[in-house]
Structures are given as C-alpha cells and as structure tokens.
Amino acid sequence: MLTKKIKTRLLFLVSIVFITVFFLIFIYLNLKQNILYFNTPSEIFMNNQIERNSIIRVGGMVKKDSILQNNEEIRFVLTDYERELIVVYSGTVPNLFSEEQEAVVEGILNDKKYLIADRILAKHDENYMPPQMKKILKENAK
C-alpha cells in the first residue's frame, strides 16, 4: 500500500501537472485574442478575413502630399506602391514621420480603405525599419 509520504507526493505531482496544463491553456487562449497581424495595404485589399474591430498593424510609405491636418486629426495615405489606405490619427507623430518615409500604424480597420489609428510606431533611427517591411517595399518598388 502507498505510504502517506508517497501519497502526498503523488498528489503534489498530479496537481502540478494539472495546474501547469491549466495555465498553459490560459496563456494560449489569451495569446490567440491579442495577436496583432502585420499587413500591407495590398494584403488588406486581398484578404477578406480581417475582422472589423480587431487591432492590426499596417506598414507602408506615407504618400507624397497626402498629409492633411485640422484641429482634431491628421489624415494621410499609406501606400505600398500598389494599393493605398487612408489613415486617420490624432496625437503626436514620431520624429521621423514625414512624407515619403516608411511608417507603421496600429489601429482598427473601418473598411478596406480606411483605418483609424491609435498609434504610429516610433522608429528609433532613420536606418531602422522592420525587416519584413524592407523586403516588401523593395519587391514592390521594382
């Protein structure tokens, strides 16, 4: 028969496994909910599965002469040289934000051509660009 010591130890082990599995599922479910997909304007155009109210990230080039400002918001066009996306944003912009520069915006898609951004990601220096972005822009520019 099992002694008391072994019994408690067995109980301990089983509960550890149980708790670990429980928390891993907990982490996984939360992860599923909070993923931000990175897209380009053309990918948004092609993809019909993007949900309206989930937050996404879009990267592209700020189109020349497209920045418009009024008292509340900043509007500009983000392009990957194939498709364009209108972005509406209010707040301060990162220091390297200007026309004909790359930018990554984060926000909710209103329809396929219109994004309400709540963040424009700061790029820390002029040489820095997300690796995925560099690749896409290079391919499209050809």
Binding residues for other proteins, rule: CB under 8 A, are 5, 23-24, 26-27, 30-31, 33-39, 55, 57, 67, 69-74, 90-99, 122, 124-128, 130-132
3-state secondary structure of 106: strand
φ, ψ of residue 89 in degrees (nearest 5): -150, 145
Min dist CB 78 to other proteins, Å, is: 14
Beta bridge partners of 104: 59
Query: Which H/E stretch holds residue 104?
Result: strand 102-111
Min dist CB 76 to other proteins, Å, is: 9
Report yes or no: 118 and 83 within 8 Å, Cβ to Cβ. Answer: no
Question: In the Cβ-directed half-sphere of 132, how many Cα atoms lie within 13 Å?
Answer: 10
Report yes or no: 57 and 106 within 8 Å, Cβ to Cβ. Answer: yes
Min dist CB 102 to other proteins, Å, is: 13
Min dist CB 5 to other proteins, Å, is: 7
Nearer to other proteins by Cβ, of 95 and 110: the residue is 95
Min dist CB 32 to other proteins, Å, is: 9
Name which of 96, 92, 84 is nearest 40 in CA terms. 84
